[in-house]
Homo-oligomer: A and B are copies of this chain.
């Protein structure tokens, strides 16, 4: 990392990347063995996962601003899979992409600081950082603070889980407090409060929020409560998010969110196709056009 990367605010970098690539979209790298193209069938599982991920990055790098590797897909293979995640994250950054490590880590005190050092900053022997990391909020803001300090010191970003679109998320994050807020709204207020200390020239904080794309009324409220947070929005495409759901996550000027899609892009091929990366490229271009149309 150069000194200029270090001092360039993560939110500003992400917004510039979205502008230069033409739409605020992110491709989720969630490689699963039984969905890979037939042409990778001769490789050992971990090698196939690696080759697929690297080819997907090559297929989309010219077209999209960001990728989001799902660490669970790699971690299922233990330390060797973890090493593949590191090589995939490195390849993404080398390809000029903004790499969001989807780790959803969360702990307190020094344990959060350990995760931040290894997964976000990459400052220890053999650790590899990324541009931003997803973090879990259930342990409260003092569990996020060590990540926040590490991010502020190194020009990195965070996306804190605020509202997810799964049914079980509704049953917890959608619970109503005695003061009228939902649990997610209370978390949003805490995230907004913590994040306000580290704004880029874009006006956005290094601390963003994960907000699922299947509850437009929730998105409107959360957008108001977190004016300085960039929303990382999963759930468009395969998980059922619609154009209205997506629109509610943005500000009127078209900034403030990045839409992430995984399966609908990375598995857009027929497994028998030998030129499967072309189908992935086309799906990334289609995603970009869809989101640009929604925002136009």
The reply to whether A75 and B119 form a contact with Cβ atoms under 8 Å apart is yes
Q: Tell me if A137 counts as interface (CB < 8 A to partner B).
A: yes
Shortest Cβ distance from A224 into chain B, in angstroms? 20
How many residues belonging to A are interface residues under a CB distance threshold of 8 Å?
Answer: 68
Q: Tell me if A225 counts as interface (CB < 8 A to partner B).
A: no
- Oligomer copy total: 2
The reply to whether A76 and B118 form a contact with Cβ atoms under 8 Å apart is yes
Shortest Cβ distance from A286 into chain B, in angstroms? 23
Shortest Cβ distance from A147 into chain B, in angstroms? 11
A125–B128 CA distance with the chains assembled, in angstroms: 22
The reply to whether B76 and A124 form a contact with Cβ atoms under 8 Å apart is yes
Shortest Cβ distance from A28 into chain B, in angstroms? 10
The reply to whether B78 and A109 form a contact with Cβ atoms under 8 Å apart is no
Q: Tell me if A1 counts as interface (CB < 8 A to partner B).
A: no
The reply to whether B77 and A124 form a contact with Cβ atoms under 8 Å apart is yes
Q: In the complex, what residues of B have CB within 8 A of residue A168's CB? A: 108, 139-145
Q: Tell me if A292 counts as interface (CB < 8 A to partner B).
A: no
The reply to whether A138 and B126 form a contact with Cβ atoms under 8 Å apart is no
The reply to whether A175 and B177 form a contact with Cβ atoms under 8 Å apart is yes
Choose, from A58-66, A80-88, A199-207, A246-254, the stretch at the interface. Answer: A80-88
Q: Tell me if A117 counts as interface (CB < 8 A to partner B).
A: yes
- Binary B-proximity of A31-67 (CB < 8 A = 1, otherwise 0): 0100000000000111000000000000000000000
User: Across chains A and B, which 9 residue pairs bring their CB atoms closest together, nearest first?
Assistant: A140-B168, A142-B168, A78-B127, A79-B83, A76-B118, A72-B114, A138-B138, A76-B114, A78-B126
29 interchain pairs (CB within 8 A)? A45-B125, A70-B107, A75-B118, A76-B117, A76-B127, A77-B124, A78-B86, A79-B85, A79-B126, A81-B124, A81-B126, A108-B164, A137-B138, A138-B173, A139-B161, A139-B164, A140-B166, A140-B168, A140-B169, A143-B166, A143-B168, A143-B169, A172-B186, A172-B187, A172-B190, A175-B177, A175-B186, A178-B178, A178-B180
